[in-house]
Structure 1
Amino acid sequence: MAHEPSTTPTPKIALAWGFVGIPLLWGIVMTLRNALQLFQ
């Protein structure tokens, strides 16, 4: 009773990564900008 594993379409994976990655990257950039202000 072996069945083939289902695959997720590439555009769906890219969209999911963008949905998570863009806000994450934005947060990292904002944190670094604020941290640099502390050391001036």
Structure 2
Amino acid sequence: MSESTTTTTTPTARIVLAWLVPVIPLAYGLYNTLKSALKLFTQ
């Protein structure tokens, strides 16, 4: 007895979009945090 398994592939654009949704705000917040932290250590 062998079972037939089917696999589906997710389109690359959908994967990229799924990653960009959380990464863009995260990158923006990280950038602002680092910019603010630099003010503490520089004059």
TM class, shorter-length: 0.7 to 0.9
Identity across matched positions, percent: 45
Where does structure 2 lack aligned partners over 5 or more consecutive residues? none
CA distance, structure 2, for counterparts of residue 4 and residue 27 of structure 1? 41
- Indicate the RMSD between aligned Cα atoms, in angstroms: 1.1
Provide the TM-score with structure 1 as the length reference: 0.78
Q: How many pairs are equivalent?
A: 40
Look up the match of 1:20: 22
| Cα deviation 1:1-40 (Å, max 9, x = unaligned) | 1312221111111111110111111111011001001112
Provide the TM-score with structure 2 as the length reference: 0.74
Q: Which runs of 4+ in 1 moved over 3 A?
A: none
**Secondary structure, aligned partner of 2:5:** coil
Larger radius of gyration: 2
Where does structure 1 lack aligned partners over 5 or more consecutive residues? none
Look up the match of 2:6: 4
